[in-house]
Structures are given as C-alpha cells and as structure tokens.
Structure 1
C-alpha cells in the first residue's frame, strides 16, 4: 500500500471511530437496544417488591370490606397504619382502591425486566411508554406522600414499600432513556443522562433522606412521646 493510501485509510478509520467511550457506548447501545444485566435484575426486583406490596394492600382492603372490624396486618399504632389510607377518599382516588393500580402496572414492569434479562431488545416506543409510566407513577406517589404526611397523619407500610421502589425505578429508567434515546451522544439530554447514571446513588440517598426528614419534622411529637 502506498503511503498516501495508508494515510487516507487511517484518517477514514479515525473519523469513523467515536470520540470517547461514552460515544461508543451510546452508538452501540442505541443501535442494538442493549441493556446491562444488572439494570434488568434491579427492575425485576424493584417491580416485584412493588407488586407484592400492592397485592398485600389489596387483600387487606378486601378483608376490611368483608369484615369492617378487621385490623389490617399493616396497622401497628396511630402513626404506622394502613387503616387511614384505605378508608380515606385519597385511598380510592380514581373510584377504585389505589392498590389495584399497582397490581395492574407492576406486572408490566416485571415482564419488561424479565424480557431484558432474557436478552430481549425493547423498541424505542416501548421505552418511551415506560418513561411516561414512571413519570405518572412518580407524580402519583408524591401526591400520596403529601397526603400521608399532611392530611391523613399516618404512614402505611405497604404504601411506603411502593414509594420506595417507584422512586428508584423512575431514576433508573430516566437515566437510561436520557442516555440512549437521543441519537446524538453529545446532546444535552444524553449528557444529563450520563450525569444521572454516575450520581444516581447519591441522588436517591438525598431523595429518601428528604422524605424521611419531612416525616420526622411532621411527626416529631409522636417520636418524642415514644422515647419519653
């Protein structure tokens, strides 16, 4: 090969090579819909916990309807209790018990995670739909957190389990979609996704600590009475 041809070939190869590992990851994952195995495992585990909690709360709701004197297994004292949530208007915001939403929605997420674990490549429209779903779930969960803290004055353990899995599911799906749905790895959305991926543990820790702090402040008198 002549020197000129070799130089031209080298230049062509370099121009076809992504500028950084992030670009390479983005281009390969975008083209093939690749999803890390640990991501799929986390989705299955978190959504399964949400499903179990929703199903358990639904069973308690049915038990109360059958026997109004039934004491739910998740009611321990004046603060940690499911009774207030189940008997309130907020507990059936759309005309049916809220846990039914989780019973219907979480299996879809479990199935998606299981498919990813098996090596399936989910379409972009599916990821977009899942993003809409986790956004709506996040908004709904924070509405329920607000009502629990400032209106009902009680914390439902099964509800809190659903809160605890919905927030990380939102963060995980969002960072994945921000990184991989844009075609351009250098776009602002993709950079934001990579930042969220790198710092998702501190973000989640700060998020949960804020909710816990709000609960402690709101129920401070109850906690003081426990130790007094």
Structure 2
C-alpha cells in the first residue's frame, strides 16, 4: 500500500497560483521584449524600416525605442526584459509544478519585481509626459509587471496582513485604471487619430 499524498497546504496552493501568474506574465513579457528586440534590430539594419507597432503619432514603438529612456543603462531596455521575463517564466513554471522556493529566493524575486515596478512606473511617466508616445509592446510589459509585483508582495506578506485581506484583483485593477486615466487625460482623442 502506498502512502496517501499529502493535501496541498494553503501556501502550496497560493504558490502554485503565483507560479501560474509568473509563468504567464513571464511568457507575455518575453514575447513583448522579443518583438521589441526584433523591431529594434530591424530599425538598426534599415533606417527606413517602420516598426509594425507604429500606428499613429501617439501609438508607436519607434519613437520610444530611440530615446535615451529606452536605452537607460546604455543598451536597449528590452534586453533586460528578455532576461528578466524569461527568469520569471522559469520560476513560475517551477512553482506551478510544485517546487518550494527558499525564502531567500522569494526575497530576491520580490526585490527584482520591486525594481521592475519602479522602473515601469518611471517609464510610464516618461512615455506620457516626456516622450509623448505609447509603445503597445511596452504597455503589455506594464500590464504584466503591475500584477506580478502585487501578487508576489501579497504572497510574502504575513498571514493575517491587511494585504492578504484585499481581493487579489483589487490593486492591479486600480493601478490599471490609474494608468488608463493618465493616458486618456494626456492624449485624449489623439489616441485614435
């Protein structure tokens, strides 16, 4: 007779859900970073190349990729995204499969996501108020980083913490609404022109 499998604890179930979010977010972020890398390389090889995401004067990747903000550390930001999001997807796959991460790795994950969240918030401001353009692939990255940072923050909060009492969807949805209001306030009807 084989021993019965232990029941999943609340932390194990939460880790698996967080893992699925990290896996999905990591894959979407890797996709966005990969497309941006491809478009950037094409534009370097052919100055006449127009990225497929250039829709109008407001919505386009080309204007964002060529700014100093798009190359903050001396190389294109999307290269950070390729590495970072691939790592998130790998950790997410491990968690979703039932792996248990050591506390130190959870803290490192949170630190990386906190840095990514701060960088994302800064880039949102730069796109809206300095560059004056919205990159659709960058917006996908924003849409991924916001909930991932929240879910890992929530996961690491102490049991009984007010963060755990909030519905899991509330903070990401609120931040999406804030970004949408900022975009509409900044660009208005020019988004569709």
In the superposition, the TM-score normalised over structure 1's length comes to: 0.77
Partners in 2 of 1:148 and 1:99 — Cα distance? Answer: 15
Which ranges of structure 2 fall in alignment gaps of 5 or more residues? Answer: 1-8
Aligned to 1:116: 95
More off after superposition, 128-137 vs 112-121: 112-121
Counterpart pick for 2:128 among 132, 146, 149: 149
Supply the distance in 1 between the matched residues of 2:162 and 2:101 (Cα, whole angstroms).
22
Equivalent residue number for residue 93 of structure 1 = 72
1:192 equivalent to 2:162? Answer: yes
Deviating 4+ runs (over 6 angstroms): none
Alignment equivalent of 1:205, drawn from 173, 180, 187:
173
TM superposition shift of 1:159: 0.4
Q: Distance in 1 between matches of 2:136 and 2:46?
A: 21
| Selected match of 1:107 from 83, 86, 93 | 86
Contact persistence 1:138–1:166 (CA under 8 A) = yes
Query: 1:36 Cα shift?
Result: 4.1
Equivalent residue for 1:167, pick from 146, 150, 175: 146
Whether 1:136 and 2:118 are equivalent positions in the alignment is no
Gaps of 5+ in 1: 1-24, 180-184
Q: How far does the alpha carbon of each residue in 1:8-61 deviate from its partner, in whole angstroms, 9 at most, with x for none?
A: xxxxxxxxxxxxxxxxx7xx74xxx66443322122111110110011101111
Task: Kindly indicate whether residue 126 of structure 2 is the aligned counterpart of residue 158 of structure 1.
Answer: no
- The TM-score, its normalising length taken from structure 2, stands at 0.90
Displacement of 1:202 after TM fit? Answer: 2.0
Listed one character per residue, the Cα deviations across residues 87-109 of structure 1 (whole Å, up to 9, x for unaligned) are 11111000000000000111111
Q: Following superposition of structure 1 onto structure 2, how do residues 46-57 of structure 1 map, counting pairs within 5 Å?
A: 46-57=25-36
Q: Which residue does the alignment assign to 2:55?
A: 76
RMSD, aligned α-carbons:
1.7
Query: 1:62 — aligned with what?
Result: 41
Q: Distance in 2 between the 1:132 and 1:38 partners?
A: 20
- Determine helix, strand or coil for the equivalent of 1:200: coil
| Higher share of residues assigned helix | 1
For CA contacts below 8 A with separation 6 or more, give which structure has more relative contact order. 2
| Bigger radius of gyration | 1
